[in-house]
């Protein structure tokens, strides 16, 4: 699936949801005297979606990769701080919520890793460098691939009919 805007990206949506849940957690959890931890956790969780958005909007695959790695780093940073909270006696009543946030952060890291691996193996430089000639070539290639898929389906159906007659 081709995404036209970053808001359509499932990983961006998941990272926004994580940030909102972190904000809710940091408001009700006992962060009294831990203002720096609260602030840094909120900033790191917000940084995940912001870097996905910035990389997506940059228009080059190289820059997108760079920002996705930053985003993945912010997910790791968020998870690290949540692990500190998880081990702290002051957050004993919030262990289930912390575990959920850690799971969400881990899932986002995995999604980003998969996306990064696919981007590192592409020949596409990014929309900034995408010409009409490139668009025409990709469309032609898609049409050929669709034709090949239709022929394979037709062949499979024909073979199935022949086997059924025997």
Q: Which residue has the tokens 């020949």?
A: 123
pLDDT at 129 over 60: no
Confidence of residue 135 (pLDDT cuts 50, 70, 90): confident
Averaged pLDDT of the chain: 90
Class at the top of the CATH hierarchy for domain 6-122: mainly alpha
Integer Cα distance of 51 and 66 in angstroms: 9
The structure's pTM equals: 0.74
pLDDT at 128 over 70: no
**Chain CA centroid to CA 70, Å:** 12
- Of 37, 65, 41, 36, whose CA–CA distance to 51 is shortest? 65
Integer Cα distance of 62 and 119 in angstroms: 9
DSSP 8-state symbol, 126: -
More confident residue, 107 or 148: 107
Integer Cα distance of 43 and 35 in angstroms: 12
How confident is the model over 60-112, as pLDDT tens digits?
899 999 999 999 999 999 999 999 999 999 999 999 999 999 999 999 999 99
**Domains of the chain, residue spans:** 6-122, 131-166
């Amino acid at each position: 699936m081709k995404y036209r805007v970053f808001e359509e990206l499932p990983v961006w949506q998941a990272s926004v949801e994580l940030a909102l849940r972190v904000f809710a957690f940091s408001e009700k959890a006992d962060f009294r005297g831990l203002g720096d931890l609260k602030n840094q956790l909120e900033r790191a969780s917000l940084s995940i979606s912001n870097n996905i958005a910035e990389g997506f909007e940059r228009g080059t695959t190289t820059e997108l990769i760079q920002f996705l790695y930053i985003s993945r780093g912010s997910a790791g940073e968020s998870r690290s701080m949540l692990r500190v909270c998880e081990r702290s006696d002051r957050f004993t009543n919030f262990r289930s919520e912390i575990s959920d946030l850690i799971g969400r952060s881990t899932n986002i890291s995995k999604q980003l890793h998969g996306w990064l691996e696919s981007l590192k193996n592409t020949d596409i430089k990014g929309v900034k460098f995408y010409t009409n000639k490139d668009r025409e070539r990709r469309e032609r290639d898609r049409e050929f691939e669709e034709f090949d898929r239709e022929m394979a389906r037709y062949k499979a159906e024909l073979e199935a009919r022949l086997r059924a007659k025997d």
